[in-house]
Amino acid sequence: MARLVMKFGGTSVADLERIRNVARHVKREVEAGNQVAVVVSAMAGVTNTLVGYTKSAAALHDAREYDAVVASGEQVTSGLLAIVLQDMGVDARSWQGWQIPIRTNESHGAARIESIEGETLIERLERGQVAVCAGFQGVAPDNRLATLGRGGSDTSAVAIAAAIQADRCDIYTDVDGVYTTDPRVVAKATRLERVAFEEMLEMASLGAKVLQVRSVEMAMVHGVRTFVRSSFDDPDAPQISADGSPVGTLICDEDEILEQQVVTGIAYSKDEAQISIRNVDDKPGIASRVFGPLAEGNINVDMIVQNISPDGKTTDITFTVPESDYERARKVIEENVDEIGFENIEGATDVVKVSVIGMGMRSHAGVAAQCFEGLAEKGINIRAITTSEIKISVLIDSAYTELAVRTLHSLYGLDG
């Protein structure tokens, strides 16, 4: 017998027929003797509709009332799933975030979980009852509903799994696992059997949309083994791997992975913009004058490249920001021109970040050289580079995205 958390996203609960399909997945685990807690998102499209209502009601609205509106989508789904399960003969009840309770900070609309009291859920699970929990929501210090930001149901599921000491958190989605890269770009992409927490964190933050970044962070901190699998698999006859386990990808501690590849996957992010400021005085403190105001404006800076001029008196500084923050970042720099002292500013939004990720890079030399040589052979120019122990990221022109991803995927032997 195992204690499981099963999380289902919006496409998995898009209508009553799909909710019935989800209920069959849940019933299968219950009949196998497992204790089950379920976390659900709002039906596909519902959250967008609710957000649209709040914006139409008033362009500037109270974040607390925004939460009261958008959190209702998950409340509907959890109630409907509980009803369907009961109709199938499964003892189930719905739980809202404030009933568990999931306690958050005061940041309405983008709250972070601070604690979960799992004792009551554990007691119900041990009695054989299925807990159907509304994802995406908790209760703030002001005792009002708080939502966790878009994609927050993944975070809810992992947090609940940690609180009830679950053996595993199963994330059911519209794909059957985590792939070496986007299968829509590379037809030869293959499903990964296991991925280390650190690798998944890099992949999620660099463009892979299978899991929300915060959920991976939480899973890594609390050691929650997380399994990504397809909700469209037949609930009564799920696909089985060669080792007898369900088809999917297990995200786990590095120690659970016996054979570690040098490179695990290739990710890419189109949400990138580049800003260059030219002929800045090369003197102590100039970097803080550039990046300090950006930090104060909550603008995240990623890649940074600094070039010193031949005379050693001036420098060019190039950096990237999310494309959504591009105009705001330019405005911040331009407003601080007197403090920074630059000659001119240039920018581009037709760029993409392509990343090579793998735990095996820690113990293998030459991985970066392979990347640069492979891209050069295809005539792809690199605008900026950033690295970590398990990641190499390059900024290139967006027109070369698919060519770069396919080239690197083949170069590191990931083609299936």
- Residue 380 in domain: no
Question: Based on the structure, what is the number of domains in the chain?
Answer: 2
Residues 205, 324 within the same domain: no
- Residue 82 in domain: yes
- For 275, the enclosing helix (H) or strand (E) is strand 273-281
- Residue 397 in domain: no
- Residue 122 in domain: yes
Task: Using alpha carbons, select from 103, 125, 132 the residue that is nearest to residue 40.
Answer: 132
Does residue 55 have a known ligand-binding role?
Answer: no
Residues 232, 195 within the same domain: yes
Residues 242, 309 within the same domain: no
pLDDT for the residue numbered 360: 87
Does residue 176 have a known ligand-binding role?
Answer: no
> In whole angstroms, how large is the CA radius of gyration of the chain?
24
Does residue 66 have a known ligand-binding role?
Answer: no
CA–CA separation, 150 and 287 (whole Å): 33
Q: 188, 24 in Cβ contact below 8 A? A: no
pLDDT for the residue numbered 259: 72
The residue from 304, 330, 348 where one domain ends is 348
Which residues share a beta bridge with 353? 269, 395
Q: What tokens appear for 220 in the block?
A: 């890594």
Residues 61, 176 within the same domain: yes
- Residue 396 in domain: no
Does residue 209 have a known ligand-binding role?
Answer: yes
Quick check: helix, strand or coil at residue 82?
helix
Domain residues for 141?
Answer: 3-255
- From residue 411, alpha-carbon distances to 115, 137, 352, 375, 380 in Å are 44, 43, 19, 10, 15
- Residue 365 in domain: no
Residues 173, 99 within the same domain: yes
DSSP of 99-137, one letter per residue?
TTTEEE-S-TTS--EEEE--HHHHHHHHTTPEEEEETTE
Residue 104 CA neighbour count, 13 Å, CB half:
28
Residues 142, 7 within the same domain: yes
Does residue 210 have a known ligand-binding role?
Answer: yes
pLDDT for the residue numbered 282: 81
- Residue 267 in domain: no
The residue from 348, 378, 407 where one domain ends is 348
Does residue 7 have a known ligand-binding role?
Answer: yes
- Residue 41 in domain: yes
The residue from 332, 348, 364 where one domain ends is 348
CA–CA separation, 53 and 56 (whole Å): 5
Residues 311, 250 within the same domain: no
How would you class 50 by CB atoms within 10 Å of its CB: exposed for 0-12, middle for 13-18, buried for 19 or more?
middle
Does residue 297 have a known ligand-binding role?
Answer: no
Does residue 313 have a known ligand-binding role?
Answer: no
Task: Using alpha carbons, select from 344, 300, 337, 345 the residue that is nearest to residue 320.
Answer: 300
pLDDT for the residue numbered 261: 84
Kindly state the DSSP code that residue 312 receives in the 8-state scheme: S
Give the angle subtended at the CA of 91 by the CAs of 85 and 96, to the nearest 5°.
Answer: 75
Kindly state the DSSP code that residue 191 receives in the 8-state scheme: B
**CATH code (residue 321):** 3.30.2130.10
Identity of residue 85: L
CB atoms within 10 A of CB 246: 16
Residues 102, 167 within the same domain: yes
Does residue 8 have a known ligand-binding role?
Answer: yes
Residues 282, 140 within the same domain: no
Residue-level pLDDT, tens digit, the chain, 416 residues: 899 999 999 999 999 999 999 999 999 999 999 999 999 999 999 999 999 999 999 988 999 999 999 999 999 999 999 999 999 999 999 999 999 999 999 999 999 999 999 999 999 999 999 999 999 999 999 999 999 998 899 999 999 999 999 999 999 998 899 999 999 999 999 999 999 999 999 998 886 778 888 999 999 999 999 999 998 888 988 888 877 788 999 999 998 887 778 999 999 999 999 999 998 888 888 889 999 999 998 899 999 988 876 767 888 899 999 999 999 999 999 999 888 888 889 999 999 999 999 998 888 889 999 999 999 999 999 999 999 889 999 999 999 999 999 999 999 999 98
Residues 190, 88 within the same domain: yes
How would you class 92 by CB atoms within 10 Å of its CB: exposed for 0-12, middle for 13-18, buried for 19 or more?
buried
- For 268, the enclosing helix (H) or strand (E) is strand 265-269
Does residue 291 have a known ligand-binding role?
Answer: no
**CATH code (residue 236):** 3.40.1160.10
Residues 163, 282 within the same domain: no
Residues 113, 185 within the same domain: yes
pTM to 2 decimals?
A: 0.88
